[in-house]
Amino acid sequence: MASNASRPRIGITTYLEPATWGIWQREAALLPRVYLDAVVAAGGVPLLLPPVGTDPTILELLDGLVVSGGCDVDPGAYGAQSHPETVDTRPGRDEHERTLISAALDQDLPLLAVCRGLQMLNVTLGGTLHQHLPEVVAHDAHRPSPAVFGTTEVKVEPDTLAARIFGDRASGRCYHHQALDVVAPSLRVTARAGDGTVEAAEVDGHDFAIGVQWHPEENAEDLRLFTALIDASRRAS
């Protein structure tokens, strides 16, 4: 663990995807730079955790963990059949993040789960997902069109970690078509969108273990969530 005087080391889970750079087209470990910039701007040092060679003991070297967004969660992870709109799943990444989430909670390591990360947090703890949210809420505002973020406005529950960070309202950029359905028993829903979609949840009994359905890394003007993670990482050091 880092000392309080140093910059906390924050692990961030990554994608494993086909990629192109220079003359090369190969599979690569990827992560949008905005995650790195958010961690650095909040006072931390980002370290990438690719979904190969998973070893949960790596968390002993870290001060906090971010579970990043990305592709659909494989329905097999929560005992469901695949919906026609569930595509581009990565079971190997699911297992990687499930392992790291479980280890982080066991160690009470500060944890921030983003979008798909919130979904993986719920699935890891025994919850399930809506595989295609537009069928539930009857609109596409959570994912307006390919590669276009929407904006979600959420109401935050009082006396929660989310309320300490945001107050009673929050706004964020969103891009997802899956969301929490059955909420895991150890998760507490702490924010919802106006259509009822779960937008934030916290793990009972932990100082800092929170997931949000929006993408806080996409708003460089609002670092409150990443700053709260860094502050919690310093306290836990």
Active site residues: 115, 215, 217
Q: Tell me which residue has tokens 């106006």.
A: 194
Contact at 8 Å (CB) between 47 and 59? Answer: no
Q: How many CB atoms lie within 10 A of CB 220?
A: 10
- Angle of the 33-42 helix axis to the 224-236 helix axis, nearest 10: 60
Q: Which of 64, 52, 57, 75 is nearest to 11 (CA)?
A: 64
SS3 readout for 31-75: CCHHHHHHHHHHCCEEEEECCCCCCHHHHHHCCEEEECCCCCCCH
* Residue written as token pair 């003359």: 23
Token reading at 171:
């706004």
Helix then strand then coil, in percent of the chain rounded to 5, is 30, 30, 40
In this structure, are strands 198-203 and 187-193 parallel, antiparallel, or unpaired? antiparallel
Task: Give the C-alpha separation, 99 to 102, whole Å.
Answer: 5
- Cβ-proximal residues to 90 (8 Å cutoff; 6+ apart), any chain: 15, 16, 51, 70, 71, 74
In contact, 97 and 117? CB cutoff 8 Å:
yes
